[in-house]
Chains A and B, each alone.
Chain A
Amino acid sequence: MFPPVLVLAAVAGGTALGAAVLASARWPHRSPGAAILLWQALGLSWGLATVGALAALGAVPGRYGVAGGALSSVSRAVRSAALGFGPPALIAAARLVVLAASATLFALLCWVLVAASAAVLVARRRHRVLLSLLAHGDPKVPGALVVDHPAAAAYCVPGLRSRIVISAGTLDLLDSAELAAVLAHERAHLRARHDLVLLPFCALGRAFPRARLVHQAHATVALLVEMLADDRALRQRPARELATALLRVGTSGASLAPSGTLAAASAADGEMTTRVTRLLAPPARLPLAVQVLVCCAAALLVAVPVTLLLFSF
């Protein structure tokens, strides 16, 4: 049997490699839901495997997997420090250093998730307060708030007290059918809590601002989430309304964008074209068997590191 440290390291490397492959794959556009699940599994599995591989390096082999081994490694070191016997000091010290690295990484990952959630909650609260002061309802968009601004914007503020916001510019730009399609799209986001899907990737992006793969993953999942909401909106509205609404809102923004925002725009370059093309010529969904296979792969990705962390073989 392979030692757990090798398996965990292989999983960590494999998930990173898998993410790079998945980011450029075309099939996720056919079944965005399954692909999002796989992305989440990849992210979680990478985190668990990386933390676990470091912990396994510093752990003494035991009955209770890597986590138990790490604990007993620490307790042995404490005992030997207190009583003056145990494994040779150099090995014990090396083990402790690796374990500390593992614990630091784990704490960092947890912390960025908490920090990102907190930042999001604060930003949303501020946004909701401003909306309550500035926005008003409009019979053209039932259930949404209208902000009087000429630029075209349509978005939602997710959360327990969610809001859908349409700018006056969008009201002028779109006809009533297109507005209904926009509302259906935003409602799909809110109902499925797509913001929670994106939050971990957003947090990872903050933790590793230089990692291209992380940003690529974030952008890819963001696009998949939009596709999921598009698909959902299609159940209520015809594809053409949604497509023309997207085109109108998307192209109206370009002329308004000052040059300083080009970086943000280029990061999303091609996304809108992809979405519109997909709406007008929808690709066939993946066969059910393949979708099940993807879900099984996702479950396996998470199950392997968890099992190695908790059990020994």
Chain B
Amino acid sequence: MDVLWDSTEPLTVRQVGLRLTNRDLAHTTVMTVLDRLAKKGFARRQRDGRAWRYQAAANREAYVTELMLHALDQTGDRSAALASFARRVSDSEAEVLRRALESIGEFAQD
């Protein structure tokens, strides 16, 4: 997937395989992975002669944003899918908490 994200143009299976130089992967392995990415909607593909050309469906940032939106619970409903360490707080509470943090810091320095 990183190879697809880093490329500006659609790539064939062979080109993807060549760019994965750090790993010794069989042509069919790369083909299977790309096929699965396409089926899951992460990659788009188009016919080019006898081969498929693959392209990332959305850029990496879009997916990171999706992850973080879900993680930070910005959808508003407190779904049970994820468990967040700390909840977002309102500005007034943030002020109280910041003061608490400062007082702990002073306490530690004493």
Closest to B88 in A: A253
A244 at the interface (CB under 8 A from B): yes
CA distance A7 to B49 in the complex (A): 76
CA distance A222 to B84 in the complex (A): 11
Which listed residue (B71, B88, B90, B91) contacts A165, Cβ 8 A? B71
Which listed residue (A134, A225, A240) contacts B64, Cβ 8 A? A134
CA distance A186 to B83 in the complex (A): 8
CA distance A276 to B89 in the complex (A): 13
A218 at the interface (CB under 8 A from B): yes
Which listed residue (A167, A246, A273) contacts B68, Cβ 8 A? A167
Closest to A229 in B: B83
Distance (whole angstroms) from the CB of B96 to the closest CB of chain A:
6
Interface string of B65-98 (1 = CB under 8 A from A): 1111011111010111111111111110110111
By the criterion CB–CB under 8 Å, are B42 and A250 in contact? no
CA distance A196 to B97 in the complex (A): 30
If A130-B67, A147-B68, A254-B88 touch, whether A244 touches B83 (CB-CB below 8 Å) is no
Which listed residue (A158, A189, A250) contacts B88, Cβ 8 A? A250
By the criterion CB–CB under 8 Å, are B97 and A247 in contact? yes
Distance (whole angstroms) from the CB of A92 to the closest CB of chain B:
43
A296 at the interface (CB under 8 A from B): no
By the criterion CB–CB under 8 Å, are A265 and B89 in contact? yes
By the criterion CB–CB under 8 Å, are B90 and A147 in contact? no
CA distance A280 to B76 in the complex (A): 29
Interface size bracket, A side: 35 or more
CA distance A199 to B42 in the complex (A): 30
By the criterion CB–CB under 8 Å, are A249 and B85 in contact? yes
Among residues 1 to 19 in chain B, which have CB atoms less than 8 Å away from a CB atom of chain A? 1
By the criterion CB–CB under 8 Å, are B90 and A133 in contact? no
Closest to B72 in A: A153
Which listed residue (A133, A195, A257) contacts B80, Cβ 8 A? A195
Which listed residue (B67, B70, B94) contacts A250, Cβ 8 A? B94
Query: Which of B40, B63, B64 lies at the interface centre, i.e. has the most chain A CB atoms within 10 A of its CB?
Result: B64
B20 at the interface (CB under 8 A from A): no
Distance (whole angstroms) from the CB of B76 to the closest CB of chain A:
5
Distance (whole angstroms) from the CB of B98 to the closest CB of chain A:
5
Distance (whole angstroms) from the CB of A239 to the closest CB of chain B:
10
CA distance A196 to B64 in the complex (A): 27
By the criterion CB–CB under 8 Å, are A246 and B86 in contact? yes
A131 at the interface (CB under 8 A from B): yes
What are the nearest 8 A-B pairs in CB distance? A254-B94, A154-B85, A249-B86, A123-B81, A247-B101, A253-B88, A268-B87, A202-B80
By a beta-carbon cutoff of 8 Å, the part of chain A in contact with chain B is 116, 119-120, 123-124, 127, 129-131, 133-134, 147-149, 151, 153-158, 165, 167, 182, 185-186, 189, 194-195, 198-199, 202, 205, 218-219, 222, 225, 240, 243-251, 253-255, 257-258, 261-273, 276, 280
Q: List 11 A-B contacts (CB under 8 A).
A: A134-B63, A147-B64, A153-B84, A156-B83, A218-B78, A251-B89, A261-B74, A261-B76, A262-B90, A264-B78, A268-B87
